Amino acid sequence: MEELIQKVVELIRQAKRVVVFTGAGVSTESGIPDFRSPGGVWQKYNPEDFYYQKFISSEESREKYWQMSREFYEPLKNALPNAGHKAVVELEKMGKLDCVITQNIDDLHQRAGNSPERVIELHGTAISVSCLACRKKYPREEIQSWLLRGVRVPQCDVCGGILKPDTVSFGQSMPPRETEESFHRARNCDLFIVIGSSLVVQPAASIPLEARNSGAKLVIINRDPTYHDSYADVVIHGSAGEIMSKILERLQVT
């Protein structure tokens, strides 16, 4: 492990443009469960119920969705950035970070201190909600208060339209600007570091390979093996917070 950490330190020292790519695993140490691990969201809810088409066509699906969302939002709202997020902020302060591409919807990279313009949210954000008809935007916090008051399926207070968190659901198309920008950044970086992602959700999972195929070094830091481990220059299996802290500690020793 120590040797692998040292290898990553050397790669960061040599790099000029580092892209960090994060998934749910970078936030589990902040108390937000990931989806696939034991105790994760998919052990409690059936992902089939959360397809976008079902959401827009069935009141019953919307009710199930908001029930899940009401529960998931509480740990998300109370979460604080952990050592993994803070290490990424340090990379930015050192002038190494090109951008963070995140599949997360929890706003923790921004709350940790990364510049918002350097954070690309591939799957949207859970901190706001929009009306699918008139596009009125609401803070998620406001909608949570409606849910806690007993509203089961919130509706737009202007036009009565369907409200949906500004996250990308299964079956919904990816945001074109963020997707294009992510592939572009991947092609132009010299070091791509994956932190806490199983790399199964497409097309996000193909972004690390785009970087690798364009000549960047690839590092994967994840608790469990991922599908792309065999393509990486360095793979470290372990806790994102602990490993990133060690990497930063060594980087800061000149």
**Do you find a cis peptide bond into 203, omega within 30 degrees of 0?**
yes
109 annotated active-site: no
Cβ neighbours of residue 203 closer than 8 Å, sequence gap 6 or more = 174, 179
Residues 41-100 that bind ligand NAD (CB under 6 A): none
Cβ closest to ligand NAD, residue 106 vs residue 210:
106
Residue whose token pair is 């570091």: 193
Cβ closest to ligand NAD, residue 156 vs residue 199:
199
Residues 100-159 that bind ligand NAD (CB under 6 A): 103-106, 123
Consecutive H or E run containing 124: strand 124-131
Q: Which of 194, 240, 248, 251 is in the footprint of ligand NAD by CB under 6 A?
A: 240
Angle value at C-alpha 91, between 87 and 96, nearest 5 degrees: 160
DSSP letter at 17 equals S
> Among the candidate windows 21-29, 45-53, 135-143, 180-188, which touches ligand NAD by CB under 6 A?
21-29
Residue whose token pair is 């108390």: 31
Point out the catalytic residue in the list 85, 123, 184, 237: 123
DSSP letter at 162 equals B
Cβ closest to ligand NAD, residue 47 vs residue 139:
47
Q: Can you give the binding site for ligand NAD, defined by CB under 6 A?
A: 23-25, 27-29, 32, 34-37, 103-106, 123, 196-198, 200-201, 222-224, 239-240
Q: Which residues are catalytic?
A: 123
